[in-house]
Every structure is written in structure tokens, then in C-alpha cells.
Amino acid sequence: MSTEAAPQFRDYAKADTISLAVRDHYRKMRERQTVDYVQRMKKKYLTFDKPMHVWDAMERLNALVDVSDPDLDLPNVQHLIQAAEGAREAGEPDWMQLVALIHDMGKVMYLWGSDEDGTSQAEQWGLVGDIFVVGARLPDSCVYPQFNELNPDMQDPRYNTPTGMYQPHCGLDNLELAWGHDEYLYQVLKNHKGNTIPEQGMVSVRYHSFYPWHTGNSYTELLSEKDAQYKEWIKSFNRFDLYTKRPESFDLDSMKAYYQPIIEKYLGTEPLYW
């Protein structure tokens, strides 16, 4: 019998080199993700004019390591395959396996990103990491809450209250979240004509990084009734995002043979437009 303790994930108090980079990442993210920034990024990146197939996008993620993840220093494509294989082993339906496979694929934004926007290999504060609502007060459930006061919007009376620029209980789908890979992929999939991924899968893509809500239970003033269902969906998906992280790698080509037919079943054979 194994006496090994269950692995601990998302430990942000470790003081090694990875953790220092993670901390620095979150400081920049909190300082720079403002209402104005998010609106500019949406205009800039949601152009849907760059065709690329799912598997090509997967392969491009072979060159990217997520600097905000304290648990994994493998290329991001390996995290995606581990998550998908986790869903497959758990007997989840094929669309859930697909959602696990692609959930972080919005990180291909780095291919056309910039250091200035925080969307490059070197600067990832507009690409990855736990996200929060912009235009409302930052909650203490954010990772490194000591950085909240660095956000310029927190000095702005339009934005620094619990509801900020929103109607009370307007619901998740009406909030502006920090810009990153989640919203990017969600919008690309939503724009894709042949997309038949169930709503549960689309919600999982869009909100999987929204930890202050789905794990921190903040933002009660902004949530609608529908969001309780969203939270259940996210919790169910999150098992594969978090607990399938392993140091070993899968062979991409042999994985493609299994996943490509599922990709085509829900997304067709046309490329996605990024």
C-alpha cells in the first residue's frame, strides 16, 4: 500500500524560483488588467481572421510553458492531453474529453501577442492565470490579495465597490473578466459555425480560470440564479484541469489518432478562425 501523501496543487506559498516568477506574474496582472485594458484587448484580438485547425493549434502549444502555473513546467500541450486523458479514464462523454483537450488552447494568442499586451511567451499577464472581474472591487479571495491595491481601477469610484459598473445580480455572462486565454477561446468557438459543443462545455472553457468565483465564492452581489448551475459545471470540469497534472509526457501523434475524430464530430473539418 502506498503511504505517499496526495499531491498538493496550487501552493502559492512555496519560495522557490518557480514561485517567485508566479508571484511576479500576478503582481503585473493585478496592476495592468483594468477596464480600459480589457476593452482594448477585446477589440484587438477578437478579429476572427486567422484560420488554424485545432490540432495545429495544439502543436503550437508545444513551445509554450505557462508561467502562472506552480504545478507544471511541461509544454502546455502536455497539460491538455493529460486533462483529456483524465476525462477519458473517468468515463466522461467524448465532448467532455474534447473540452479538456482544448480548454487552454486560447493560449495560442501568444503567436500574435506582444510583451506590451502581456500576451507573449515572455510576458503572460494578459494570457494566463486566475482571472477576476474588472470594473468591480477586487476580492480578498484573489491569489496574492496584497496586490489588489495596485490596480488603478481600485482608486476609481465607478469601479471600486462590490457591484462597480454592473447591475446587481446581472449574472456571469454580463461581466467583464480579466483578459486571457479563456475568453479568447470561448469567443473563437462561439464564432465557429460548425460548433456543437454543449453549453456545459462552453461554460467550462469560458470560466475555468475564474477562481475567486468558483473556488473563492466571491462576487455574490453580481451573480444570477443561473450561475449556480455554471458553478457545478466548472467544479466537474476542474477535476481534469487540476488533478491530472503529471511530470510525464504523451506522444502527440498517437494521441491525435484518438482525438481527431472527436474534434471533427463537434467542430467539423473547417479551421477555427482566431
Identify residue 247 by its one-letter amino acid code: P
Smallest separation (angstroms) from Fe ion to the CB of 168: 29
Cβ contacts of 74 within 8 Å, gap of 6 or more: 65, 247, 249
Q: Which is nearer to Fe ion, 125 or 166 (CB)?
A: 125
- Which cell is 117 given? 499586451
Check residue 66 for interaction with Fe ion (CB under 5 A): no
Smallest separation (angstroms) from Fe ion to the CB of 240: 9
Count of chain residues binding Fe ion (CB under 5 A)? 2
- Which cell is 27 given? 503582481
Going residue by residue from 195 to 234, which x/- string records binding to Fe ion, judged by CB under 5 A? ----------------------------------------
Question: What single string gives the DSSP state of each residue in 25-49?
Answer: HHHHHHHH--HHHHHHHHHHHTT--
Cβ contacts of 144 within 8 Å, gap of 6 or more: 12, 23, 26, 27, 30
Interface of this chain with Fe ion, residues 68 to 107, rule: CB under 5 A:
104
Coil, helix or strand at residue 189? helix
Going residue by residue from 102 to 131, which x/- string records binding to Fe ion, judged by CB under 5 A? --x---------------------------
Q: Which is nearer to Fe ion, 10 or 265 (CB)?
A: 10
**Of 206, 184, 173, 188, which Cα lies nearest the Cα of 267?**
188
Q: Give 179's DSSP letter.
A: -
Going residue by residue from 234 to 253, which x/- string records binding to Fe ion, judged by CB under 5 A? -------x------------
- Which cell is 112 given? 500574435
Smallest separation (angstroms) from Fe ion to the CB of 131: 9
Binding residues vs Fe ion (CB under 5 A): 104, 241
